[in-house]
Amino acid sequence: MLLANLRSQCGALSRLFQYTTLLDCSPFLRSFGTATKTEFRLMGEKLEDLPSISKISDNVVRVLGQNPSKFTLQGPSRTPPLFRFIPSDIDYNHLTGTNTYILGTQVPYVLLDTAEGKPEYPPILSSALDTLPTPLTPLPDISDIIVSHWHIDHIGGLPSVLSLLLSRWQTRNPTLPSTSYPAPRLHKFPIPQDVTGIAATKHNHLSEVVESIPQGTFTPTAEGNTFHDLRDNQLFRSSSPTIRVLHTPGHTIDSISLDIADDRALYTADTVLGQGTAVFEDLGLYLQSLNKMLEYGKNDTAGYQILYPCHGPVVKNGRELISTYIKHRLEREEQILQVLRGKPTEGGNWTIWTIVKVIYASYPENLWLPAARSIELHLLKLKRDRVVQRLGGEGVDTAWGLVSRTPSPSL
Ligand SMILES: [Zn+2]
């Protein structure tokens, strides 16, 4: 593909790159190249087939979102332009999209995320609820829904799930008026008013989703807000088992993780995945969050061991995987610094594009443009660390150089 063609697509694609930086997120792409030792270890893993409903512990039932797609790294139903770059030799059909989780041993339960809004999901969720003890009183099935972050495959199901829960309650309580329905509370870490980046663009559909929620299907805050704001380190007591909230931004600004102590599990949403490595909006924040997760409960003999991700299976060696994620990023960072320490291959200064051409030399050229976004995110993080500086230019032609010979930031 001509370089000019690649660059002409960069503007449109860059919006998507913040959502999905391909070379660093897609398990599929790991069949290409050998950019780092860590990547090499991660390559070749077979994507695991998961049942739609799984009781994964005494406290937790996993329900798949029925949204298989390349977009969720799990199937063919969505094909935005970005994915023309994805090799097509992957069998996506055996994977079934975003994981949601029902927490609790007795009604009412807590639901983690609502998937994308596919019509196939509410019946599956309903079937999952039917496997659990049913409320005998006018209690709802679900008292609280915790949303992990603003991405559409986690929030899109809010309207249909809330409608389902009201419908189930009305069926169980035909003589009660709907005004007496104890509707679920919705919880989410707030996005700052002055947020920049992709969360401030049209790719954030949160407000549209909220507008689509039927009246009377949820309990707003005392101030009339849709979401009850989650806080870092908040103990979520209205549930069984007890949940502690960790704000772990980076994948998105509002991403959270949840410590589910009874399971010795950390719910990681999209920050750490069951297979593959996650994407991120802000690498600096992302690495800070990975380190925070690694440190959390490290010296606690009852600290978490396993991970409950929003894509892929339960991770048994949770801390080891988080360490691998960090190592992978730092290896990539060191690669970039090594390139910047050398003489530019095409004269002048190093640009994002010439860096990509060196680091991804063994990858197919049609993957270089997605790789450029990943390199840019690394450079932006290194700029904040005052290790590199932006020298000018735009897009993939942006020039970068070292501020000093200091090779690595402290993390
Ligand atoms: Zn996400």
Quote the ligand 1 centre to 322 CA distance (angstroms). 17
List, in sequence order, every residue forming a beta bridge with 227; answer none if it has no partner: 186
Strand (E) or helix (H) holding 36: none
Query: In the prediction, which pLDDT does 408 show?
Result: 55
Quote the ligand 1 centre to 171 CA distance (angstroms). 34
pLDDT tens column, 176-197: 998 999 999 999 999 988 888 8
Quote the ligand 1 centre to 155 CA distance (angstroms). 10
Quote the ligand 1 centre to 42 CA distance (angstroms). 20
Query: In the prediction, which pLDDT does 36 show?
Result: 36
Three-class DSSP category at 142: strand
Quote the ligand 1 centre to 289 CA distance (angstroms). 15
Query: In the prediction, which pLDDT does 194 show?
Result: 86
Quote the ligand 1 centre to 389 CA distance (angstroms). 29
The answer, yes or no, to whether the previous bond of 192 is cis (omega within 30 of 0) is no
Quote the ligand 1 centre to 218 CA distance (angstroms). 23
Q: Which two tokens stand for residue 19?
A: 């959502």
Query: How far is 55 from 63, CA to CA, in rounded Å?
Result: 9
Quote the ligand 1 centre to 339 CA distance (angstroms). 31
Are 358 and 35 spatial neighbours (Cβ–Cβ below 8 Å)?
Answer: no
Quote the ligand 1 centre to 406 CA distance (angstroms). 33
Quote the ligand 1 centre to 287 CA distance (angstroms). 16
Phi, psi of 209 (to 5 degrees): -65, -45
List, as own/partner pairs, every contact residues 166-172 make where C-beta atoms lie below 8 angstroms and the sequence separation is at least 24, other chains included: 166/214, 166/216, 166/217, 168/126, 168/129, 168/141, 169/138, 169/140, 169/141, 172/134, 172/135, 172/138
Q: In the Cβ-directed half-sphere of 340, how many Cα atoms lie within 13 Å?
A: 28
Query: In the prediction, which pLDDT does 106 show?
Result: 87
Quote the ligand 1 centre to 132 CA distance (angstroms). 28
pLDDT tens column, 283-332: 999 999 999 999 999 999 999 999 999 989 999 999 999 999 999 999 99
Query: How far is 112 from 17, CA to CA, in rounded Å?
Result: 26
Are 408 and 395 spatial neighbours (Cβ–Cβ below 8 Å)?
Answer: no
Query: How far is 28 from 89, CA to CA, in rounded Å?
Result: 9
Q: Which residues of 223-260 are buried (b: 16+ CB within 10 A; e: fewer)?
A: eeebbbebeeebebeebbbebbbbbbbbbbbbbbbbbb
How long a stretch of residues is the chain? 411
Quote the ligand 1 centre to 169 CA distance (angstroms). 30
Q: Which residues of 179-214 are buried (b: 16+ CB within 10 A; e: fewer)?
A: eebebbbbbbbebeeeeeebbeeeebebeebbeebe
Quote the ligand 1 centre to 174 CA distance (angstroms). 38
Quote the ligand 1 centre to 16 CA distance (angstroms). 12
Quote the ligand 1 centre to 295 CA distance (angstroms). 23
Query: In the prediction, which pLDDT does 95 show?
Result: 45
Q: Are strands 350-351 and 399-402 parallel, antiparallel or unpaired?
A: antiparallel
Query: In the prediction, which pLDDT does 46 show?
Result: 57
Query: In the prediction, which pLDDT does 243 show?
Result: 93
Quote the ligand 1 centre to 319 CA distance (angstroms). 20
| Closest to 92 (Cα-Cα) out of 43, 152, 161, 46 | 46
Quote the ligand 1 centre to 119 CA distance (angstroms). 20
Q: Does the pTM of the predicted model rise above 0.75? A: yes
Quote the ligand 1 centre to 359 CA distance (angstroms). 27
The answer, yes or no, to whether the previous bond of 108 is cis (omega within 30 of 0) is yes
Q: Which two tokens stand for residue 21?
A: 């930086």
Quote the ligand 1 centre to 351 CA distance (angstroms). 29
- The terminus-to-terminus CA distance of the chain in angstroms comes to 38
Quote the ligand 1 centre to 29 CA distance (angstroms). 19
The single-letter DSSP state of residue 23 is: H
- Low-confidence residues in the chain, pLDDT < 50: 1-44, 70-95, 411
Strand (E) or helix (H) holding 112: strand 109-112
Three-class DSSP category at 312: coil
Quote the ligand 1 centre to 200 CA distance (angstroms). 15
Quote the ligand 1 centre to 252 CA distance (angstroms). 7
Quote the ligand 1 centre to 270 CA distance (angstroms). 5
